Structure 1
């Protein structure tokens, strides 16, 4: 594998780790009642999902044999960031009117 391709894969691989860590830390800092108010899974469930996601992104590689676990971790973190996080922020911010 050429060095430039290896470098791109490593940037993608290690660039996903902060995404998983951000999702876990954000889930950790939210109020438990916000999850039920946002009609999402419970806080312990999202903590387990995002923690598993962060661990998968740390342990497995995008270019490795177990890339499916890496991809599942990235998808889980992105689902939290794109779907759950905005709802939690909306619920905790309250009605602006």
Structure 2
């Protein structure tokens, strides 16, 4: 491959690694009960999958793995599934800071 194409794929690997980190940090912040309430797989499974995705993504970003191999692509797909399917489903169950316990559905009582 040409040098410019190598840089392009390296840039894509860094962006994919960023998405994988974003998914991992979001999964860490979400309470475990939110996954069950949203009828998704449990938090521990998603954390394991996303940690492995981040490790593989880091390997792709620092060129330890061949950029066109299946592992970095699979790692990105795990993060993409989490961000596109699981995150919107569990977002409504995440606790928001700053609210009072006497809040109703339309604001404070």
Aligned residue in 2 for 1:49: 49
Offset of residue 64 of structure 1: 1.2
Which has a greater percent of helix?
1
More moved, 45-54 vs 66-75: 66-75
Structure 1 residue ranges, 4+ long, deviating more than 6 angstroms after superposition = none
In 2, Cα distance between equivalents of 1:43 and 1:24: 11
Offset of residue 65 of structure 1: 7.0
Aligned residue in 2 for 1:74: 76
Query: What are structure 2's unaligned runs of at least 5 residues?
Result: 96-104
Offset of residue 23 of structure 1: 0.5
In 2, Cα distance between equivalents of 1:65 and 1:31: 34
Aligned residue in 1 for 2:88: 86
- Contact conserved, 2:23 with 2:83, CA < 8 A, in 1? yes
Offset of residue 33 of structure 1: 0.3
Larger radius of gyration: 2
More moved, 31-40 vs 83-92: 83-92
More moved, 19-28 vs 65-74: 65-74
Aligned in 2, Cα 1:19/1:65: closer, same or farther, shift over 3 Å? closer
Q: Between Structure 1 and Structure 2, how many residues are aligned?
A: 94
Aligned residue in 2 for 1:3: 3
User: Does 2:66 correspond to 1:59?
Assistant: no
- Contact conserved, 2:13 with 2:67, CA < 8 A, in 1? no
More moved, 35-44 vs 1-10: 1-10
